[in-house]
Amino acid sequence: MRVTTNGTLLNYKSSLMRTANQLDSARSKVLSQRNFNSYAEDPAAATQAFKLRRLYSRTNDQITNSTALISKYESAWTSVGTAKSLLEQAAKDVALRGESDATAAGRQPLGEVLNTTAKSIVQTLNAQYADTFIFAGSNADKAPFSWSDTGGLLFQGISVDTGMPNAPEGTPPNPSEADPSSAWGTYYAANPDYAKLAQMTYETVYVDIGAGLSNDNNGKLNAASVFNASISGIAILGFGTDKDGDPKNAVSLIKNLSDIYKRCDAESGEYSSSEDQTKASRLTDKLKTSLSELTNKWTHMDGEADYLNENKERLVATADTLNEQILSLEQVDLADAITDFSWAQYCYNSALKVGNSILSQSLIDYMN
């Protein structure tokens, strides 16, 4: 078989390109410290790495959601704690100055103090976090609480003291799920404003925090697999009236007591009527009950914040584990990579030296 110069050059060119590609690949591994830079280099590892990176990205999103929720709940917990302190002080003032005949002369000034306290609580619960109102539920772009022209408290534009007379017994159900033909369904239809307030206590803003986001058998979102980030101020303070016609809302209770005390005689502190005296005593007891309920909700909110913190720690640990798995697949052993690069460079240099010999011989042959 005759070996031609052209054939030799073609074989040499192919070998030189192969060694150059091997050198470039080895150099890329050293510089990028990656086992592969394209799917074709290692399809199995690339597929597994893609799945892990998708989980890692989702976990980081869940960590971001949890961090935002923790900040929101810490702000909410602080605001409710402030409102609780104001309510405690109001109950204390009523017990020491309002109920005691010895300090009856201070009832009218106490009325002014209670009125200021009510406004302070409302201002506290209109707190904002990241340009949204914390206690506005799903309608977080608008301040939840406001005052009517007559001085009554409004939540999302609806009087908090509406409804409840002749209401069915038991806890009000979710208006959107109540059977229209049931007692509560009929009551909601007759009292639309109360139905709206009740619906706001059931509002949901679901956030994925890594609790296994899933749907139930009916294709609806499983509430246990997400976190409800909606915080409704009306659910915290209460709404409606009781069988005595007294408000269930803590701020309204304070306002009613304030109105009673401001009607008292400025010098003697005597009540303007026996009805006012009886009502003041009744509202005082209900104010204490309202304070107890607010304290329970404040404690529950603290528990929610603790849960979010623990969940975030779990997510961070999961993200670290996923990152380690990704690195084990994608990150190259640097010592091996440098060794491979050195060998590839040696092969390339050897190929160049062989080329010099071939080109020299081919040139002499051509001149002959």
pLDDT in tens, 5-26: 677 777 777 877 888 888 888 8
Residue 107 belongs to some domain of the structure: yes
Q: Are residues 239 and 122 in the same domain?
A: yes
Structure token pair of residue 11: 């074989």
- Based on the fold, state whether residues 108 and 225 are members of the same structural domain: yes
Residue 365: exposure state from Cβ atoms within 10 A (0-12, 13-18, ≥19): exposed
Boundary-marking domain end, from 300, 320, 353:
300
Residue 117 lies in a domain: yes
Find the DSSP H helices in the chain.
Answer: 5-32, 43-93, 107-125, 183-190, 192-200, 233-237, 250-262, 274-330, 334-367
Residue 42 domain-assigned (yes or no): no
More confident residue, 283 or 365: 283
pLDDT exceeds 90 at position 147: yes
Q: Is position 43 within any domain?
A: no
- Flag whether 217 is in a domain: yes
In this structure, are 291 and 337 located in the same domain?
no
For range 102-122, the mean pLDDT: 86
Q: Which of 246, 287, 81 is nearest to 160 (CA)?
A: 246
Tell which of 300, 324, 348 closes a domain.
300
Q: Cα separations (Å) of 19 from 22, 34, 211, 258, 316?
A: 5, 20, 52, 91, 44
Judgement on whether residues 111 and 10 belong to the same structural domain of the protein: no
Q: What percent of the chain has pLDDT over 90?
A: 43
* Domains held by the chain: number: 2
271 & 359 share domain: no
Residue 248 counted as domain residue: yes
Residue 368 binned pLDDT confidence (cut-offs 50, 70, 90): very low
In a domain, residue 89? The reply is yes
- As a whole number of angstroms, the distance between CA 259 and CA 280 comes to 10
Q: Which residue has the tokens 């990704």?
A: 326
Tokens of 176: 């959107």
pLDDT in tens, 182-224: 999 999 999 999 999 999 999 888 999 988 888 888 878 888 8
Residues 24, 158, single domain; the answer is: no
Domain that holds residue 344: 5-33+332-367
Candidates 48, 51, 50, 60; CA nearest to 319 is 60
Residues 249 and 124 in one domain: yes
Are 29 and 119 found together in one domain? no
The pLDDT assigned to 269 comes to 80
Query: Looking at the structure, do residues 338 and 286 belong to the same domain, yes or no?
Result: no
- pLDDT at position 307 is 93
Do 255 and 350 belong to one domain? no
Conformational region of residue 118, where left means phi above 0, alpha means psi within -120 to 50, and beta covers everything else: alpha
159/27 same-domain check: no
Q: Classify residue 125: in a domain, yes or no.
A: yes
